[in-house]
Each structure stands twice: as structure tokens, then as C-alpha cells.
Amino acid sequence: MSMSFPSVDEQLQIITRGIEKIVPQDELRKKLQHSQDTGIPLRIKYGIDPTGIDVHLGHTVPLRKMRQFQELGHQAVIIIGNYTALVGDPSGRDEARSKRLTEAEVQINATTYLTQVGKVVDMSRAEVHCNGDWFSTMSFADVLALCGRVTVAQLLTRDDFAKRYREEKAIFLHECLYPVMQAWDSVKISSDVELGGTEQLYSFMLARDLQAQENLQPQIAVMSPILVGLDGVRRMGKSLGNYIGISETPYDMMKKFMQLPDGVMKMYFELLTDVPLDDVARLLAGHLKVAKVTLAKLVIAQYHSDPDAAAAAARWQSEIGGEALPTDIPEVGLDAALLAAGNLTAGKLLTALNLCPSNGEARRLIQGGGARLGEAKTAITAHDQLIPVTDGLLVWAGKKKYCRVKLV
RNA sequence: GGGGGAAUACCCGAGUGGCCAAAGGGGCCAGACUGUAAAUCUGGUGGCGUAAGCCUUCGCAGGUUCGAAUCCUGCUUCCCCCA
């Protein structure tokens, strides 16, 4: 078995790509060396709270790292935080989470999650644990004993808590338990390395303390930068609506990629693809639109296939980059009874087709010049303009929303 | 248990009796420009109505008043401080 590990240097080179911080820096080499010498794979932990169901590219950053570790011969250990999810991760939040999940919701989410995680991690070689397995059987006395190992002062060294404390915002007691629970997971599964974002530093370090107290080898924190979302500013997240989900269709992903700000491409290449960094630099020195298409195709192919990705790119180029009409124009039924002598006012047409949610919005859209008709995209000029409506009429509400009329 | 403070549209936030569908900023939408990138510029950003206009909205429920986001009463939620 030991023969199958690449050399420590080779491993380090792969592992450190796209990693912002390894703590403690030098111990990773020692661990890898030890694993090399003994033939015992390292246990790589990644915890995920089943709070939602859409796995997006932000999640794939540590998951990809996990996959790389697997390919180097190490053991993947996935923790489903069904108990930590009951608390909600306070990391990077300046406020407490408002809602807490029920156990039933968590259960469903966990299943969906694992399916998606399997698109990145080789689940046939991964260990999966739910932290409820050990937390649900702890007594209150056990919890107290665990809490007795952590001081509030330590807790307040976390940036997010410290900030909230300074700003006199609420910090709830159960939130304080979150890092403790996460750290305890590391004890329970004897992790050698834990993967996650830089915001997890505190929990990762706490895990080291607890592991040491249990006479275990402390884990090493391997932390990725936080992937920014489509807005190019905030972290990619479901609640922010700025994410690309790995279950989306190739074309949907393509459209989102092409809307990315140029500035984030370097990060995306580094964290989401295996393109050597020299090549990335070369790509980014060229035409940025070309680089963006390359990026999009590479990532899409990971979750679909090369042909799918190529097709999505070609379609984007012809429909959006070029002049071709979209190929997916939906038909929307329109009650023929609404017509007066075959006509309908523009505002009513837009709302009846659900292109605008209200008359007010329709009026604004028309005033802004975004409402158009037909293949020629003739602008509608007035809200009360009478439109001769025929079956199959193409109606545009801006560039991205459109449909064909289907008289019923 | 006691005291202080707060709640305004997607978010932040101004507004202390009529000129308030409610300043300003952010976000978002649309247009121009472009590579559906960035930057910039323009317009818009409660509902109904072709329109005049009408209706709903400033935590909730009442009240005072010709008139309330604004004053009063009760309630709810949140924050802080003291114990």
C-alpha cells in the first residue's frame, strides 16, 4: 500500500493548490511522511451541515480537495452534521440565524446532499458519519464536561463572535456550542486533516486541543479561500442567490458563468479546475471572454460531460453572443376572450403572459424600452398601445425573459 | 426582577400632525455602450385603472383628530444595562 502513495513533495504540491492556509504549516509534511512510511492513509475530514439541498460550486472547493486526497490514497471521512445543523453555523455571520431546522428536515436534506456530494467525492471509498450518532447519546453531564474544556475567552477569539460582542449584538449560548461540537467530531473520527474554509479556523484549532486531551494526534487544518458568488463580492451562498448549483443544466450554468465579473476568474480557475496556474495566467492575459468560456466549459464538464459543455457554450454563443433566437422559447397560453377585435393593450399582454407581475411593472418596462415584439424585436412604445395579437407572437420583456403567445 | 432603547418598503436609513406612496444610499429591473464582464450614463423601483383617480403600506390592536409613519393606550418582538 505504501508504494502507491506519490512522494510527499508531489502530494504537497497537489494539496496546496488553491489553499489559503494550512495550520500548522509544517506538520502536514510530517503527517504525509508518516503515512508514507507506514502505509496508513490519512483520515481526511469534511463536515457539512444539511441545511439546504442545493450543493453549489462553493461547496465543491473543499470537496474537490477531498477528492484529490482520495486520489493520493487517503481516506475520506464525511460528517453529516445533523446535530450541528440544529444549531446553525455562526461562522462569518454577524447575526444569529433566525430559523432552526427540525430533525425531519435535516434528515431529508442529508440524503439529498450525499447524492450531490457523490458527484465530486468517490463515495464508494468514503466513510460517512452523522454526528447525531454520538451527540444524541450524550447526557447533559457529558455536555457539561465537554463545555468545561472551553473557555469563553477562547470562544471570543473567534472573529465573528468578537465582532458581535464588540457591536453588542446577540450571541446565543447554543451558538457557542457549535464550534465545540464540530471539534468533538474530529475527536470521534480521529481526523488527521480537516478541510474547510478559512472561517473555520477557530473550530479546527479547538479540535486540535480536544484531540490532544484525548491522546490523539491533533488534526491539521487545510483551509480554502471562500469562493465568491456571481456578484463577485459576497461569498457564494444559497441565501444570497448568487450561486451556480452543480445540479443545474449545462446551459443554465453556462449563462451564469458568462455573467461572472472578470475579476473572479483567477480564483475560479484555481479552485474549480485543475488547469496549471501558469496556463491560467496565460489564459487571463489573453481575451477574457475566451478565458471565461474555457472556464465555464471545464467546470460544466465536471458535472455533465465534455460534449454537454461544448454544446452549452456553442448555444450561448449563437443565442446570446450572436443574433440567433433562443431555442427554448416557452409558449404561454393566452385566453382569446381577452382580445377585443384581435387586439390587446400592451400592458395587459405582458401581465397576461406572466412576463410582468403587475401593471405597474409592465408600464415601467415599456417606459424603459425593454418590451419588444416579434423576431425583429420592435419596441413597444406605450403602455396602452394596442397590440394585434396572433398565435405564435413573440413577446420580449427585456433580453432575458420572453415567450410565444399560444391562443387558447 | 428593575431600568433604558428600538421596530419605516428587498436591505440600510431619514422622516415627530397635513406639502408622505414616504428623503438619501445600496441592491434590483430596464435602456445606451459592451464580451448578457467591468466602468460610465439614463430611466425606474406598492397595487388597481387607458386616464382622472381609487385602494393598501411605516411591528400588532385600539384611540385622539377634519387629518396620523408622526400624538395617546394596550400588546408583541428585539437589543442593551443593572441585579
Considering only the top CATH level, what class is A250-321?
mainly alpha
Task: Indicate yes or no: strand B within 7 A of the C-beta of A170.
Answer: yes
Q: Would you state the CATH architecture of domain A2-224?
A: 3-Layer(aba) Sandwich (3.40)
Write phi, then psi, for A125 (nearest 5 degrees): -115, 15
Q: Among residues of chain A, what percentage have pLDDT more than 70?
A: 92
Task: Indicate yes or no: strand B within 7 A of the C-beta of A274.
Answer: no
Instruction: Calculate the angstrom distance between C1' of B40 and CA of A234.
Output: 23
Higher pLDDT, A358 or A165: A358
Q: What does DSSP assign to residue A33? A: H
Cα dihedral A250, A255, A259, A260 in deg (nearest 10): 0
Q: Where are the domains of chain A?
A: 2-224, 250-321, 331-407
Instruction: Calculate the angstrom distance between C1' of B41 and CA of A259.
Output: 21
Q: Which nucleotide's C1' is closest to A371 (Cα)?
A: B30
Task: Indicate yes or no: strand B within 7 A of the C-beta of A318.
Answer: no
What is the pLDDT, as a whole number, of residue A94?
Answer: 47
Q: What is the pLDDT of residues A254-300, one digit of tens each?
A: 999 999 999 999 999 999 999 999 999 999 999 999 999 999 999 99
Task: Indicate yes or no: strand B within 7 A of the C-beta of A320.
Answer: yes
Strand A386-388 with A343-345, pairing: antiparallel
Instruction: Calculate the angstrom distance between C1' of B77 and CA of A69.
Output: 48
Task: Indicate yes or no: strand B within 7 A of the C-beta of A367.
Answer: yes
- Residue range A335-349: average pLDDT? 88
Residues 216-235 of A with CB under 7 A from strand B: 231-232
Instruction: Calculate the angstrom distance between C1' of B56 and CA of A360.
Output: 15
- Residue range A393-398: average pLDDT? 92
Instruction: Calculate the angstrom distance between C1' of B42 and CA of A368.
Output: 10
Here the cell at position A3 is 508504494
Nucleic acid strand B: bases within 7 A of protein CB: 27-32, 35-38, 43-51, 78-81
CATH number of A331-407: 3.10.290.10
- CA separation for the pair A121, A201 (Å, rounded): 23
- CA separation for the pair A387, A309 (Å, rounded): 40
- CA separation for the pair A142, A121 (Å, rounded): 34
Instruction: Calculate the angstrom distance between C1' of B67 and CA of A64.
Output: 65
CA distances from A313 to A105, A206, A328 (A): 37, 45, 15
Q: What is the pLDDT of residues A125-160, one digit of tens each?
A: 999 999 989 999 999 899 889 988 888 777 777 777
Q: Choose among A98, A110, A107: nearest CA to A55.
A: A110
Residue A396: count other Cβ atoms within 10 Å of its Cβ. Answer: 22
